[in-house]
Amino acid sequence: MLKAVKGDRPKNTAERLDFIRAEIRKAALGNARDPANVTLVAVSKTFPAEAILPALEAGHRVFGENRVQEAKAKWPALRARFPDLELHLIGPLQSNKAREAVELFDAIHTVDRPKIAMALAEEIARQGKRPRLFVEVNTGGEEQKAGVLPETVDAFIHACREQHRLAIEGLMCIPPFDEPPATHFALLQKIARRNGLSGLSMGMSADFQRAIAFGATHVRVGSAIFGTRD
């Protein structure tokens, strides 16, 4: 009944988290996948610590931020309270921020050029920390977008491994805003397979169920959990 459905709509962060978790589970099981193999990265960019706390208090531990400076301002204090949390960088990385990125983040989804690979390799060696690494692929070949082009990604992954000795876990993409995402998810899955990579960071609030159908291991969901951003 309409009224019941309306009453069931999640009204706070903890409820929205539960709802997204249930959707992830449904999508995984519907595609004969183990829900445990899909990590929900709760994207908290632009939201202050007060807005993130309810998610932490509800037991969620994996979060995504897209700016190093913003993460640096927000997360050390939260990490002191919740030492088991995991922070993922999902936004563009400048090589002069590699040091802070390796200090702050447990995973970096946006490795996309030799200069970054080199800077990360240097910091990983210096700090003795090993963030999990994903190569960002510009699956739509969009000029304004970050990421390695599909034509050159195999060579880039090879260079990351052989030249920079980086353990690459997987690939990440942000499909073009105005195209059905499925072809991009399929392309990312294909590139991952031929390069022997197990991780697939793809799918956001609007399309994470679809991404799970194409093998997503990390879905990055922001607004569906924290609400619309300014």
Ligand X SMILES: *Cc1c(COP(=O)(O)O)cnc(C)c1O
Does 71 interact with ligand X (rule: CB under 6 A)?
A: no
Q: What per-residue string of b and e applies to 34-72 under the rule 16 or more CB within 10 Å gives b?
A: eeeebbbbbbbbebeeeebebbbeeebebbbbbbbeebe
- To ligand X, the closest distance from the beta carbon of 216 in angstroms equals 12
Asked if residue 92 lies in contact with residue 146, where contact means CB atoms within 8 angstroms, the answer is: yes
Q: Binding pattern to ligand X, positions 26-65, x when CB under 6 A? A: -----------------x-x--------------------
Q: Binding pattern to ligand X, positions 164-193, x when CB under 6 A? A: ----------x-------------------
- To ligand X, the closest distance from the beta carbon of 48 in angstroms equals 16
30/227 with CB nearer ligand X: 227
Does 222 interact with ligand X (rule: CB under 6 A)?
A: yes
Counting other chains too, the contacts that 103-106 makes at CB distance below 8 Å and 24 or more residues apart are 103/127, 103/129, 104/68, 104/71, 104/72, 104/75, 104/76, 105/71, 105/131, 106/131, 106/132
| Residues in Cβ contact with 216 at an 8 Å cutoff, skipping those fewer than 6 apart | 38, 185, 200, 201, 202, 203, 208
- Tell which one of 40, 90, 171, 187 touches ligand X (CB under 6 A): 90
65/163 with CB nearer ligand X: 65
Does 204 interact with ligand X (rule: CB under 6 A)?
A: yes
86/122 with CB nearer ligand X: 86
16/164 with CB nearer ligand X: 16
What are the Cα distances from residue 190, in Å, to 9, 89, 183, 200? 36, 24, 10, 10
| Residues touching ligand X, count (CB under 6 A) | 14
Q: How do 132-136 and 218-221 pair as beta strands?
A: unpaired
Stretch that binds ligand X, among 10-18, 95-103, 186-194, 216-224 (CB under 6 A): 216-224
Polymer length in residues for the chain: 230
What is the contact surface with ligand X in residues (CB under 6 A)? 43, 45, 66, 90-91, 174, 204-206, 220-224
